Amino acid sequence: MPHSPALATAPLLSAYRGERPGRLPVWFMRQAGRSLPEYRELRVGTRMLDACLDPALAAEITLQPVRRHGVDAAILFSDIVVPLKLVGVDVEIVPGKGPVLAQPVRTAADVAALIAHAPGGATPEAFDAVAQAVRILVSELGTTPLIGFAGAPFTLAAYLVEGGPSKDQLAARTLMHADPQAWQRLMDWTAQLSSAFLLAQIGAGARAVQLFDSWAGSLSLADYERAALPASTAALAAARERVPTVHFGTGTGHLLAAMASAADVVGVDHRTPLAEAAASVPGVPLQGNIDPALLAAPWEVLEGHVRAVVESGRAAPAHVVNLGHGVPPTTDPDVLTRIVELVHTL
């Protein structure tokens, strides 16, 4: 029932459209994952990417926090490198380290080899496992919308060039300046890949999508606008004609206005007060920005913070409550449930 009227009026989707629904919607980035004992139990013996690519398992993991916390959205359990894996890039997720690529893409020849080997605008079949998980979820979720998910082209490119996580994305930023043509070809490829991955999820029933640009915060505004934003805009363009789109990164206070140009909603990290973000992107619905560090503070401290975030969010036309970054693995899940209960009274 991807177009059921009840789903269309879900608080999350109303807020993403810029309205103020009767109930303030809330969900948590990385709500499906290590903070939940039922997740840790389910993952025993299964590697991260295998879990993402097992439709029934990925669907079950996605549903766990929805059942437990009563959040206003499910977000597909996946990883930024999943589409890379699906088009044949040799990547694994190493526990405690993150994604590791067998062959970093450092030169124009590396970029050409990557593109020749793995089409960016992959056929929809490449993403079948993920589309199947989405279809299972849509039939299970009822009136709770599912948010689709992709890494932004810059973040994908940074993983490809660095060969894994990195502190300042130094090698990626070097390629950006040292060989702008090779960089552009790489960004065109990652933009097509992100776009196709989002469209596969939308086609299967995702009702909104979020583009995660984990590393964009390492760029100056000038570099971002010239060498990263055009690809994010391209990655979101077709999705945006069909569902609400959210654009998020951390350490991106200086990039918010640029990021807002590519999507309908902007996610804000804990460093930028929502009222300040609202002033820099007038008219744009905001998502965020409970400080994950506060999740481990006494409840009265956290409660005061959540109320302050909601109050600050009133400066925006619409607000979806979320964290300013992903749920830390050490989080007590009962605290998240309590936040949902609190937000729904505000």
For the annotated catalytic residues, the residue numbers are 30, 34, 43, 79, 159
Among 50, 90, 168, 332, which residue interacts with a second copy (rule: CB under 8 A)? 168
Q: Is 123 in the site for a second copy (CB under 8 A)?
A: no
Omega of the bond leading into 289 within 30 degrees of 0 (cis): yes
For a second copy, which is the closer residue by CB, 128 or 179? 179
98 vs 203 by CB, closer to a second copy: 98
Site for a second copy in 284-323 (CB under 8 A): 291-294, 296-298, 301, 305
Of 34-42, 112-120, 173-181, 256-264, the segment contacting a second copy by CB under 8 A is 173-181
In angstroms, the CA 301 to CA 322 distance is: 17
Please report where in the chains the tokens 């948590």 appear, as a residue: 28
d(CA 134, CA 128): 10
Select from 24-32, 65-73, 118-126, 176-184 the region that touches a second copy (CB under 8 A): 176-184
Q: Are 18 and 285 in contact (CB under 8 A)?
A: yes
- Token code pair at residue 333: 């899940």
Tokens of 44: 């025993």
Please provide the DSSP assignment of 77-103 as one string.
---TTHHHHHTT--EEEETTTEEEESS
Select 69 or 305, whichever has its Cβ closest to a second copy. Answer: 305
Candidates 9, 46, 123, 174: give the one binding a second copy (CB under 8 A). Answer: 174
CB atoms within 10 A of CB 54: 16
Q: Which is nearer to a second copy, 38 or 276 (CB)?
A: 276
Nearer to a second copy (CB atom), residue 7 or residue 309: 309
Closest distance of CB 293 from a second copy, Å: 4
Taking CB under 8 A as the criterion, which residues in 35-94 touch a second copy?
none
Phi-psi region of 198 (alpha: psi -120 to 50; beta: other; left: phi over 0): alpha
Write down the least CB distance from residue 117 to a second copy, Å: 26
Judged by beta carbon, residue 102 or residue 222, the one nearer a second copy is: 222
Smallest distance, a second copy to C-beta of residue 253, A = 5
Site size toward a second copy, by CB under 8 A: 33
Quote the least distance from Cβ 324 to a second copy, whole Å.
9
Q: 163-202 burial by CB neighbour count: b if 16+ within 10 A, else e?
A: bbebeebebbbebbeebeebbebbbbbbbbbbbbbbbbbb
**Contact track, a second copy, 202-241, x by CB under 8 A:** ---------------xxxxxx-------------------
Kindly provide the residue ranges of all beta strands, DSSP E only, lying in the chain, ordered along the sequence.
74-75, 91-94, 98-101, 146-151, 208-212, 245-248, 265-267, 286-290, 319-323
Beta carbons of 213 and 155 less than 8 angstroms apart: yes
CB of 142 to a second copy, least distance (A): 34
- Select the residue interacting with a second copy from 56, 94, 109, 178 (CB under 8 A): 178
**Taking the CB of residue 341, how many other CB atoms lie within 10 A of it?**
12
CB-CB neighbours of 282 under 10 Å: 11
273 is a contact residue toward a second copy (CB under 8 A): yes
Binding site for a second copy (CB under 8 A): 168-171, 173-174, 176-178, 217-222, 251, 253-254, 270-273, 291-294, 296-298, 301, 305, 325, 328
